[in-house]
Each structure stands twice: as C-alpha cells, then as structure tokens.
Structure 1
Amino acid sequence: MACEVKSVLFVCLGNICRSPIAEAVFRKLVTDQNAENKWMIDSAAVSDWNVGSSPDARALSCLRNHGIETTHKAQQITKDDFQTFDYILCMDESNLRDLKRKSSQIQNYKARIELLGSYDPQKQLIIEDPYYGNDEDFDTVYEQCLRSCKEFLAKPH
C-alpha cells in the first residue's frame, strides 16, 4: 500500500530566522526516522523583504552548533502554497493573522494554518523573533522548534 506524502510549510515574517530553523530541524527529525519520502518540507515568509537571501548568519550558526546544515533561500508564501501544503505552521499571532487574511482570498484551500508552538509540550505558544536579539535568543528558537517539531511529527496525520 502506497504511503501518502504529507506536507508542511513553516512560516515567519522574513524567512531568515525562525522558519528556516524550524524547516531544518523538522527535516533532520524526518531524516533521522528514515521518513524523507513521506514528507514534503519547506519554509516561507509572510513578507517579501528577504526573497532570495540565505538565512541570518546567527540562524545558520545556531543550526551548525546542533549538527544541522541548510541551503534554504528565503521565499514568500504564494497562493498555491495554501492549496499544496497540508499544514502551514507559523511562529506568532502576527504571522497567523497575515496567513488567515491571505487564505481568505483563496477558494477551497486545504492547508491547516496553526501556530507551531501549539505543539510545544512546554506550552510556549509563541516563538519570538530573535532578529534583534542575541545568540541565546536563536538557541531559544531552536529549542522551541525542536520540541514543537518532535511533537508535531509524533502525532497521527
């Protein structure tokens, strides 16, 4: 019996800090479970500010410190994404509002739009933007993403 591929898109404001960290963390968890063929994984931004840019150097450094590499380039979410992805997981209420507003203009979209933090077993719902913070803030984002992604992956889809 063929396994249906599930898909998840991680979204934040600029797609250079939180969402590429979440994408890379989730990709590693899926790879570690030898389930790469069961998931389509990507990340995107609500804004178009950083399209084509690599993730923030601090995000890349944080991921490398945890043995994870990424070659992701920032991209903006498209209307097609709402129809392509099963899940769109975002980082804060502002992202959620923007995504719900964008989705309201699309007929019959299938994506479930949720906060990634809604899966956090420590109940830290919001994953704060570390852009104006320091390395510790990026580590906090990594830890929140790791906990939430593990929980999301463990649930039946």
Structure 2
Amino acid sequence: MAATGTKSVLFVCLGNICRSPIAEAVFRKMATDAGLVDKWRIDSAATSTYEIGNPPDHRGQACMKRHGVPMRHVAKQVTKDDFMSFDYILCMDESNLSDLKKKANSVKNCKAKIELLGSYDPQNQLIIKDPYYGSDEDFEKVYEQCLRCCKAFLEKNT
C-alpha cells in the first residue's frame, strides 16, 4: 500500500501505447518538476488487450523526446485492483469511459474517481482523440492536450 499522504492516478486509453503513456509521462515530469513526484503513484493502462507487453508507439516516443519528457512504459490492461487502489482513473474518450464504468460496476470496493482527462482542459476539449492512425501532428496535439489537462489536474490536487 502507498505511504500516507500519497495520491494516485491511472491514465487509461484503448491500447496503452499512445495517449495514456503520453499522459503518464507528462504528468510524471510535471510532478517531478514541481517537487511532488514522491507524493504520487502514477501509472497508465489499457481497456483492451491489443498491445499488452508492447512499448509506446514510436511516434509518441519521438514526440516526448522532442519535448524532453522521459517515457518508459510497457502496455498493460486495467485490473480490478486498479479500481480499488487508485484515487483517479483518467481516460481519453467516451468509449474508454463507458468500458471503465462497466468494469467498475463489477468491483465491490471501487474507490477510483473515473473521469475524462479532458474534463480538466481549460480549453474544454473533452476528448483526446486516438492518434494511432494519424500523423506526427496528431501525436503533438495529444501532447498539448495532455499538458493542459495534467497541469490543471495537478493544480487542483496540490
């Protein structure tokens, strides 16, 4: 169990190779830069099993490298335990949200607050679209959205 005074956040998308590892990396760097990283348990996961065991998409990795954001992650799926152990589960779109809420219903002691990461966006862009079939610009857009949302989320929780 995490030490007292720690908060926890799990970022979730469909495959855990594009959006959620970007959000995780952005949030971890932000928390680190703010001197708060040891007050947080930060991770990311997938609603699907498609990419389990795979590293983040190379375009996402290249985007993070351009912005000087360290990223180390291996894709995994959300577990029942995650609903009981994380304070926040922040996902990227309506489909993730409905999958997570369905899974949460089968967990007796669900304590996680399940929300769209985009609900923290000061520019009110609720949905963070999957860049998988897109271009480098789409990954850049995901990065920008994650940056805005993570900043607002961190400010709200410090």
Task: Tell me the equivalent position of 1:84.
Answer: 85
For each residue in 1:75-112, what CA deviation from the matched residue of structure 2 results, as whole angstroms up to 9, or x when unmatched? 00000000000000000000000000000001121000
Cα distance in 2 for partners of 1:17, 1:73 equals 11
Deviation at 1:3, TM superposition (A): 5.8
Q: Which residue does the alignment assign to 2:114?
A: 113
| Structure 2, unpaired ranges of 5+ | none
**Structure 1: which amino acid aligns with 2:60?**
A
Partner of 2:52: 51
User: What does 1:1-157 correspond to in 2, within 5 Å?
Assistant: 4-156=5-157
* TM-score in terms of structure 1 length: 0.97
**Offset, 1:64:** 0.4
Percent sequence identity is 66
- Partners of 1:116 and 1:53 in 2: CA distance: 23
Unpaired segments ≥5 residues, structure 1: none
Cα distance in 2, alignment partners of residues 69 and 29 from structure 1: 11
Whole-Å separation in 1 of the counterparts to 2:94 and 2:65 = 28
- Structure 1 residue 156: deviation in Å? 3.4
Hey, which bits of structure 1, 4+ residues long, moved more than 6 A? none
Distance in 2, matches of 1:116 and 1:12, equals 10
Greater CA deviation, 81-90 or 64-73?
A: 64-73
Task: Call closer, same or farther: CA 1:151–1:132 in 2, change over 3 Å.
Answer: same
Superposition RMSD in Å = 1.1
Secondary structure (helix, strand or coil) at the match of 1:22 reads helix
- Quote how far apart the aligned CAs of 1:71 are: 1.4
The alignment covers a number of residue pairs equal to: 156
The CA distance in 2 between the partners of 1:69 and 1:85, in whole Å, is 23
